[in-house]
Structure 1
């Protein structure tokens, strides 16, 4: 049960219902998560939903990379509902189940895609230390440009806000969903400190092998005969 009253459409003020309808009629299609709490201040909820819509659905980054940054954030903050929503969205966007499973249990994810490895490491470092190493920052900048690196940092920051809001107000999972995340103890603090945030594992990058094609001697001869002498 949530710590704060959650609204049904029937119990909303006109201003709350206006924001509610804007969300339902947008790409989310439903009001879930932190917006259920934010509706206590409709002006905040309205700006929140517009900001979140841009960062989830309107960045220049591919959806699978945005969702990867979000699930790293959800895992860092043990945000059950955020993980539930975005692990599924990440899988549909093209993330592998093996990668999601590794992040979920705090193990080392092994990426066959350099883009995903860089996004993971950017998100991991920012969540773990509050900053990102220069070489990681520059790899994102080179691949996605100034806009992409700004968007990525904003996605991670925004979904940290989402995680904290979900956690502090105890916004519930759907009735038929069990909590997907088990606590992973922080490496530098024991139970006496009340610390249950995970230390996220570094990733590995294992490039996918290129497929090889065997060309018969006769085919090579035919190709040589048909090719121009100079290019």
Structure 2
């Protein structure tokens, strides 16, 4: 049960409905995840959805690596909804099942190409240590340049905010969906 009301379009005021309609007509196609909470403050929801759209659909990073960074973030925060919403996108983007399975368990995947390892390790270090080691940072910088390293950092930060919002307000998984992440000891 969510801790806050989840508004249907019929319950929204005109400003909330305007943001809802903008989100639904965009690449997401529906109001999902933390936007269901943010819609209570329409200006926040509007800025949030714009920022999320940029980071999800218009970065210079390959989509499979963006989705990997999102899954690493979801696992760090034990965010069931975030994992559920992005697992299918990661598969569609070509992220390999063994990599996803290791991340789902909170482990470093055993076999990754150099690009995947760089993106994974950057996210894992930033979330775990709150900093990124110089070797890992330089690997990402060498592969994707200044813009890529900024975007990767922003993806991890943005999806941390998403996970915290989903977890804090206990926004539920869709009906009939089992939690995809096992509890950690």
Class of the TM-score when normalised by the shorter of the 2 chains: over 0.9
Measure the CA separation in 2 of the matches of 1:86 and 1:60: 19
Aligned to 1:57: 57
TM-score by length of 2: 0.98
Residue 105 of structure 2 is aligned to residue 111 of structure 1: no
Q: How does 1:70-89 map to 2 (within 5 A)?
A: 70-89=70-89
Once the two structures are superposed, the pairs formed by residues 23-42 of structure 1 within 5 Å of their partners are 23-42=23-42
Larger Rg: 1
In angstroms, what is the RMSD of aligned CA positions? 0.8
Question: Does 2:115 align with 1:123?
Answer: no
Gapped regions of structure 2 (runs ≥ 5): none
After TM superposition, the score normalised by the length of structure 1 is: 0.79
Q: Are 1:182 and 2:178 matched, yes or no?
A: no
| Greater relative CO, 1 or 2 (CA 8 Å, sep 6+) | 2
The structure carrying a bigger helix percent of its residues is 2
In structure 2, the residue corresponding to 1:106 is in which secondary structure?
A: coil
Residue 107 of structure 1 deviates from its aligned partner by: 3.0
Structure 1 runs of 4+ with >3 Å offset: none
Q: CA deviation at 1:50?
A: 0.1
Query: How many residues of Structure 1 are paired with residues of Structure 2 in the alignment?
Result: 185
Aligned to 2:153: 153
- Counterpart of 2:135? 135
Q: Distance in 1 between matches of 2:105 and 2:112?
A: 19
Q: Deviations over 1:12-66 (max 9, x none)?
A: 1000000001100001001111000001100000000000000000100010000
Are 2:76 and 2:106, in contact at CA under 8 Å, matched by a contact in 1?
no
Cα distance in 2 between the residues matched to 1:106 and 1:71:
10
Bigger mean CA offset, 137-146 vs 99-108: 99-108
Q: For structure 1, which runs of at least 5 residues remain unmatched after alignment? A: 186-231
What residue is the counterpart of 1:3 in the other structure?
3
